[in-house]
Amino acid sequence: MENSPFKNLAEDAPFELSPVMPTMLAGDKVIQFRCHKDVGCWNACCSNIDITLTPYDILRLKNRLEMSSGEFLKEYTVPYEMDQDGMPGVKLRAVEGGTACRFMKPEGCGVYEDRPTACRYYPVALLSMRNQDEYTDRTSFALVQEKHCLGHQEPRSLTIDEYRQEQGVDVYDEKGRGWRQLVLKRKSAGPGIGKPPAISNQLFFMVSYDIDRFRAFVASDAFNKTYDVPLEVMATLLADDEALMEFGYNFLKHTLFGEKFLEERDGAYEQRMERLKAKAEKLRAEYLAGREALEDEKYSDAPRPGDCGCGDGERA
């Protein structure tokens, strides 16, 4: 390593290099790490946050805080785009004018039992990958080694899988699997021709993050006139957040990727096409009316006989 051309890469870099070790690790990889209240860097990681939330993270937090998903999103999150096609994501909002987490308390995390997936994983990062020709995703891990985190110097060794179990990540991973597959599917589809219509991103946002609004949508007349959901299934969806969340993942696969999951009622397709046709005709009529108005305006601005001030328009 003494003469390695890569020796001074970190020192010479014009900016701080990524703390994520660029190695994919398996679950049985042994790491050295422990975080506890007496460590010198207590709360340092929660003082500068960049935490992406999953649908299950939001569900747990909004229920803990006894808020609706809409109230939680407004109060505690900021939206961002997960890809060049504007796939919507949400991150935890930091304190006003700062970078610290709003749930951070001197004694530690104020929502510890319901803390998000990313907080549970730290300092391990979950890497999910999926090739275009593969149906399932592959999971591996990476280690995040930030200078301020002294937990790496603590004398405790355990495998990544043991650490995940200790932090209760397995259940979070299980509940988020369907959503991660959706995100990977959208990303691995590559750049499409043009952006996806705004409505598909709005649908993705509502189903993924705003579960109480999605519940109202599923209970609506319009939804039930279109889709044939058995009564007992509907009753479960309206009463059980987690069942609704899983239903939502499949509903998105059905509507965004054409993976058939729901039965449509007889005539629903034809009615939808009729509605679309009526809408297209209305838009066309509006466009033509707008164009006519523009033409009128253009001609009303054009110089007319007499505008030059040389009389009443008759040639001399």
Rounded to whole angstroms, the Cα distance separating 49 from 122 reads 12
Rounded to whole angstroms, the Cα distance separating 262 from 86 reads 26
- Least CB distance from residue 184 to ligand SF4, whole Å? 24
DSSP for 154-194 reads: SS-EEEHHHHHHHTTHHHHHHHHHHHHHHHHHHHHT---SS
Which one of residues 25, 31, 35, 252 is an interface residue with ligand SF4 (CB under 6 A)? 35
Rounded to whole angstroms, the Cα distance separating 223 from 51 reads 33
42 interacts with ligand SF4 by CB under 6 A: yes
Q: Which part of the chain contacts ligand SF4 (CB under 6 A), choosing from 7-15, 45-53, 173-181, 283-291? A: 45-53
Q: Check: CB of residue 235 under 8 Å from CB of residue 125.
A: no
39 interacts with ligand SF4 by CB under 6 A: yes
45 interacts with ligand SF4 by CB under 6 A: yes
- Least CB distance from residue 46 to ligand SF4, whole Å? 3
Q: Which residue has the tokens 């679309």?
A: 276
125 interacts with ligand SF4 by CB under 6 A: no
Length of the chain, in residues: 316
- Least CB distance from residue 156 to ligand SF4, whole Å? 11
Which one of residues 67, 82, 109, 127 is an interface residue with ligand SF4 (CB under 6 A)? 109
Nearest Cα residue to 249 out of 188, 215, 190, 204: 204
* CA dihedral of residues 94, 99, 104, 106 (deg, nearest 10): -150
Which one of residues 49, 124, 169, 218 is an interface residue with ligand SF4 (CB under 6 A)? 49
Which one of residues 149, 169, 203, 207 is an interface residue with ligand SF4 (CB under 6 A)? 149
What are the backbone angles phi and psi of residue 184, rounded to the nearest 5°? Answer: -65, -40
What are the backbone angles phi and psi of residue 140, rounded to the nearest 5°? Answer: -145, -175
Q: Is 288 helix (H, G, I), strand (E, B) or coil?
A: helix
SS3 of 132-154: the string is CCCCCCEEEEEEECCCCCHHHHC
144 interacts with ligand SF4 by CB under 6 A: no
127 interacts with ligand SF4 by CB under 6 A: no
DSSP 30: E
Question: How many residues interact with ligand SF4 (rule CB under 6 A)?
Answer: 23
Of the pair 119, 252, the CB lying nearest ligand SF4 is at 119
The site string for ligand SF4 over 281-310 (x = CB under 6 A, - otherwise) reads ------------------------------
Rounded to whole angstroms, the Cα distance separating 61 from 216 reads 20
Which one of residues 44, 65, 144, 189 is an interface residue with ligand SF4 (CB under 6 A)? 44
Rounded to whole angstroms, the Cα distance separating 76 from 196 reads 27
111 interacts with ligand SF4 by CB under 6 A: yes
The site string for ligand SF4 over 186-225 (x = CB under 6 A, - otherwise) reads ----------------------------------------
- Least CB distance from residue 98 to ligand SF4, whole Å? 13
Of the pair 114, 161, the CB lying nearest ligand SF4 is at 114
Q: Which part of the chain contacts ligand SF4 (CB under 6 A), choosing from 10-18, 147-155, 164-172, 223-231? A: 147-155
Residues lying near ligand SF4 in the complex (CB under 6 A): 35, 39, 41-46, 49, 51, 101, 103-104, 109, 111, 115-116, 119, 122, 148-151
